[in-house]
Amino acid sequence: MTTDGMLALHTLRRGIPGSLPLVLLHAFPVDHRMWWDVTDLLPGERTVLAPDLPGFGSSPSGPDVAVALGADRDVPSIDVMGDGVAATLRAAGVERAAVAGLSMGGYVALSMAERHPDLVAGLGLVDTKATADDDEARARREEIAQRVLAEQRVEAVYGMRTALLGATDRVERPDLVERLAGWIADQGPHAIAWAQRAMAARPDRTEVLSRFTGPALVVVGEEDEQSPVDVARAMSYLLPDSDLVIVPRAGHMTSIESPQPVASGLSRLVRRAEAALAGRDRPVA
Site string for ligand MLT, 213-232 (x = CB under 6 A): -------------x------
Beta-carbon count within 10 A of 253 CB: 27
Minimum distance from residue 226 beta carbon to ligand MLT (Å) = 5
3-state secondary structure of 20: coil
Is position 28 an interface residue for ligand MLT (rule: CB under 6 A)? yes
Q: What CA–CA distance (Å, rounded) separates 247 from 219? A: 7
Residue 99 and residue 109 in contact, taking contact as beta carbons nearer than 8 Å: yes
Is position 111 an interface residue for ligand MLT (rule: CB under 6 A)? no
Chain residue at closest Cβ approach to ligand MLT: 103
Burial call 126-152: b when 16+ CB within 10 Å, e when fewer: bbbbbebbeeeebeebeebbebbeeee
Minimum distance from residue 187 beta carbon to ligand MLT (Å) = 12
Residue 191 and residue 61 in contact, taking contact as beta carbons nearer than 8 Å: yes
Is position 104 an interface residue for ligand MLT (rule: CB under 6 A)? yes
Site string for ligand MLT, 31-70 (x = CB under 6 A): ----------------------------------------
Minimum distance from residue 165 beta carbon to ligand MLT (Å) = 11
Site string for ligand MLT, 241-280 (x = CB under 6 A): -----------x----------------------------
Q: Which of 12, 22, 23, 27 binds ligand MLT (CB under 6 A)?
A: 27
Minimum distance from residue 103 beta carbon to ligand MLT (Å) = 3
Cross-strand partners of 25: 101
Compare residues 183 and 212 and give the one whose CB is closer to ligand MLT. Answer: 183
Instruction: Name the amino acid, one letter, at 5.
Output: G
Find the helix or strand (DSSP H, E) in which 176 lies.
helix 174-185
Is position 184 an interface residue for ligand MLT (rule: CB under 6 A)? no
Instruction: Name the amino acid, one letter, at 162.
Output: T
Q: Which of 23, 125, 199, 200 binds ligand MLT (CB under 6 A)?
A: 199
Question: What Rg, from alpha-carbon coordinates, does the chain have?
Answer: 18
Residue 52 and residue 8 in contact, taking contact as beta carbons nearer than 8 Å: yes
For strand 48-51 and strand 9-13, is the pairing parallel, antiparallel, or unpaired? antiparallel
Compare residues 75 and 132 and give the one whose CB is closer to ligand MLT. Answer: 132
Instruction: Name the amino acid, one letter, at 47.
Output: T
Minimum distance from residue 116 beta carbon to ligand MLT (Å) = 20
Kindly list the residues in this chain that would bind ligand MLT in the complex (CB under 6 A): 27-28, 103-104, 164, 199, 226, 252
